[in-house]
Amino acid sequence: MVIEPEYQEALNYLYSYVDYSLTRSMRNAAKNFNLDRVYRLLRLLGDPHLKYKVIHVAGTKGKGSTSAMMASALQAAGYKVGFYTSPHLSDYCERIQINGVSISHNRLVQMVEEIKPAVEQVEKITTFEITTALGFWYFAQEDADAAVIEVGLGGRLDATNVVSPLVSVITSLSLDHVDVLGDTLAKIAFEKAGIIKQGHPIVLSPQREEALLVVERIAKERNAPLSLVGRDYLFAPWSHTLNGQSMLVWPKEDQPMVTAFIESGGRENWEPLRLTIPLLGHHQVENAATAYTSLQVARSEGLAISEADIIKGFANVNWPGRFEVLRRSPLFVVDSAHNRNSALKLRQAINDYLPGQPVILIFGASEDKDVEGMFAELLPRVRMVIATESRHPRAMGADRLVELAHRYGCPAKKVLPAEDAVEYALNKAGDEFAIVTAGSLFVAAAVRDIWQENYAKQN
């Protein structure tokens, strides 16, 4: 990828501020998080975050996929839709999109220059806070009708938590970023539930009871109507292939009719809404159900969107790096699983889509991640680990990954850089093995870029 000098200078400027995502330890970061700096910067920009309807999404896993599906459905409904997400896969501009198109390099360069006088008036501002303000400002400048805003880290003190959302959404919660968010599910749920606003509805994905009780308590305290996926809206997988999957979703009031439909083997004249998504894995069915429920709640809050819009938007969603099939023979899948819960879901997807097929795992992770937990879930299903590293400063050494893999009785080999890891895996796979990449979004992005640059044209 060729990076223009002006664009690189703009990125250098953004990264010249504190960027906790690049520090090797975030243990001391929590005390530095607050919303005062973001509020001040946005005031200097004319409060752009208040000029369009917002759906605000937090969660440990699934928040990106859920957000992408909602943004795609809103676009199908004819809205001009901002989408703010992080981190990016290949290019920083992916974080700020309108109708699925990233802000251009030239426009980002221009906006960075324009925002500098305001940034200079806010002490101790961070990279993520500036980027968040840039995203909100861009959406306002482009007259966006609505925006789907994904939380960066946590929720309560995240820079995005200045919005006044039509609906707030919390996806699946599990242990991650424990140094900052807390070392129990209840503590993490408390941080995520910080996005719940007084009187504004909240949609919650299925949760373990420890997390559910915390979110329900905070929603009640803030008089925020809560819709729980799996209780107020129900869902079921219907079919799946490597091309995509379909599912059923329905409000609890329709359960008697759904029961009749299921008992008839699908031969009833009536059937619940059927959605098709290109994203693979049962966890994406849950994410789609959460996205659908959130749009239903948003509709009750005045957002005009039809079932046909949702069907079309979900079918056309594009969200790379999540059990994404790059090649069929040998099968090559890139996934961004980076904690134990997501590794479990990846293993379940491998079993669903690759039953009985041996797997070579290309794996790299950040040093603050629960690698042992991920290996406990994945390695019983893996024949060999190829340990590699991304260029990220928090990357765990490949030697350490090999050592940990050996503790689980799995053959492992260090292969650096990632380009060589991909080539080694392809040579090793032959016709028998499937290749799966996991452990880090940065490694997933690196492998995906390597594939696009060196192998995609061969298929």
For CATH 3.40.1190.10, the residue range(s) in the chain are 5-228
The token pair that represents 288 in the structure block: 């789609």
pTM: 0.93
Mean pLDDT of 400-411: 96
Fold annotation for 324-458? Protein-Tyrosine Phosphatase; Chain A (3.90.190)
> Residue 24's pLDDT is what?
43
Hey, what are 356's tokens? Answer: 């009985």
Q: Say if residue 373 is exposed, middle or buried (CB neighbours under 10 Å; 0-12, 13-18, 19+).
A: middle
Is the distance from CB of 126 to CB of 20 less than 8 angstroms? Answer: yes
CA distances from 143 to 44, 52, 78, 132, 165 (A): 19, 8, 14, 17, 17
- Report the percentage of the chain scoring pLDDT > 90: 84
Q: Residues of CATH 3.90.190.20 domain(s) within the chain?
A: 324-458
CATH number at 5-228 = 3.40.1190.10
Q: Are 127 and 19 in contact (CB under 8 A)?
A: yes
Amino acid 456: pLDDT: 78
* Nearest CA-CA partner of 386 in 354, 428, 334: 428
383 vs 336: CA distance, rounded Å: 20
Of residues 154 and 400, more confidence is placed in 400
The single-letter code of the amino acid at 126 is: T
pLDDT beyond 80 at 25: no
In this predicted structure, the answer to whether residue 176 has a pLDDT above a threshold of 80 is no
Q: What is the pLDDT of residues 253-286, one digit of tens each?
A: 999 999 999 888 777 788 899 999 999 999 999 9
